Amino acid sequence: MARFKLAVLISGRGSNLQSLIDACADPAYPAEIALVVSNIPDVLGLERAKKAGIPTAVLSHKNFNDRESFEDALDAIIREAEPDLVCLAGFMRILTEGFVRRWPDRLINIHPSLLPAFRGLHTHERVLEAGARFAGCTIHFVRPAMDDGPIIVQAAVPVHAGDDADSLAARVLAEEHKIYPLAVRLIAEGRARVENERVIVDAATPPPGALINPAPGETA
């Protein structure tokens, strides 16, 4: 059976790309990466892809007069790889509605918060400023609005009393590396589908119990 083909878009170090590379290295995993595209040259993520033998392309947005012409070229490069799914993995460009509409329910993104809370940038600083007890990350299907769309998988982590933005980001990132391959697996296996702008996951099992922060034993 043919494996599900991915195109992964990056702008930097590609740590979430690496999590997908590692998952795809398992012959039992139902997906493979057909192409990695970066809008910035010479980033670490490109080296990760080349080391894994994955075709890469660089398309600098600075070489285009407007967002639409950049996206036309980006779309053409992606379509040459004939992917089943396009994965945004630290791709630091806001995509227009026109681009998003070309990939209906075939374009996913990762965001370092428990959406719909804390959309946008400086997520971890804002979580700490708000005094939130939990942070986390979300994989979702992309919609034209920023950090919006049906949620596929989320992971939650507790905020610690001594956290700064860096320590919280590291804890969230570790979970990002788990849930991106999981989300791709669910889609590739046909277990995750969008119905009425919600994702239905077949045979989904919720985690047992509840998370409480601070833990009850710590309040006395």
- Catalytic machinery residues: 111
Asked if 127 and 113 count as a contact pair (C-beta separation under 8 A), the reply is yes
The answer to whether residues 163 and 128 touch, using CB atoms and an 8 Å cutoff, is yes
Task: Calculate the alpha carbon distances from 123 to 115, 135, 147, 159, 176 in Å.
Answer: 11, 9, 12, 13, 14
Q: Which amino acid is at 76?
A: A
Q: Are 173 and 146 in contact (CB under 8 A)?
A: no
**How far is Cα 103 from Cα 97, in angstroms, rounded to an integer?**
10
Which structure tokens are listed for 29?
């995993």
Helices of type H across 27-122: 44-51, 67-80, 97-102
The alpha carbons of the chain give a radius of gyration, in whole angstroms, of 18
For residues 37 and 23, the answer to whether their CB atoms sit within 8 Å is no
Mapping DSSP to helix (H, G, I), strand (E, B) and coil, where does residue 74 land? helix
Residue from 112, 158, 114 nearest 133 by CA: 158
